[in-house]
Amino acid sequence: MEPVMWVENKPGWAVWVRTRMTIRSRLEDPFPSRWGLFFIPLFGISMTLDQISFSEYGVWYTLSHLLLVSLPIGLAAGWVVWLLYGALFWGAGRLIGGEAGWKEMQWALVWALVPYTAKLIIWLFRMLCFGEETFTLYTPTIDNSFPLLFLYFFFFIVDTVLTIWFYLILIKSVAEAHRFSAWRGAAVVLLSLVCCGSC
């Protein structure tokens, strides 16, 4: 399949390796597909699971209880973070000469979320392998099993790669929406995240 056709027909896959071309294709589409919005709640769930993993909730609650609570929280959080970050990236970019409209930035951000939603696959395998120890810092079962320990570090490496890939795609997506360099895109993302973190 030709790169242009691939980008237009499979944006969820193309954004991984042809980020700027994919984002430009989505932004210039007069009838953008709404199915991309499905990534927003998935992103929220993945982000919520990331947050719980740094806690001791697994000691106090069962895995099913944690999932029952985190899923609705994640669904709502995805939409809130998407709107908030979209506004921050749009505003910060406009301050340094960016050209993106608010709606353009929100759509660019939708497709930038794809790698982060892919982390849900890792979370699924973690929960199947580790159970409650997925969400605890104290992991005696994992520590005393070489296969589980190997899987633990394997999932950690894959998760790290996906996180780095997410930020690279996010930077390129912001840059493409604003029609400037990736370096300026990185500055916008960094400035926005620091600003949001200090609030």
102 domain-assigned: yes
Place of tokens 């069962």: 62
pLDDT tens per residue across span 116-153:
999 999 999 998 998 878 887 778 888 899 999 999 99
What average pLDDT does the segment 54-59 reach?
Answer: 65
pTM of the complete model: 0.89
The count of domains in the chain is 1
pLDDT tens per residue across span 149-179:
999 999 999 999 999 999 999 999 999 999 9
- Its domain, for residue 139, covers 33-197
186 domain-assigned: yes
10 domain-assigned: no
pLDDT tens per residue across span 93-103:
999 999 999 99
Hey, is 60 helix, strand or coil? helix
25 domain-assigned: no
Closest CA to 173 of 119, 74, 93: 93
114 domain-assigned: yes
16 domain-assigned: no
180 domain-assigned: yes
> Alpha carbon of 32 to those of 10, 26, 36, 174: distances in Å?
13, 6, 9, 18
Q: How far apart are CA 154 and CA 143, in angstroms?
A: 14
Residue 176 token pair: 């493409």
* pLDDT at residue number 31: 64
Q: Give the H or E element holding residue 46.
A: helix 39-53
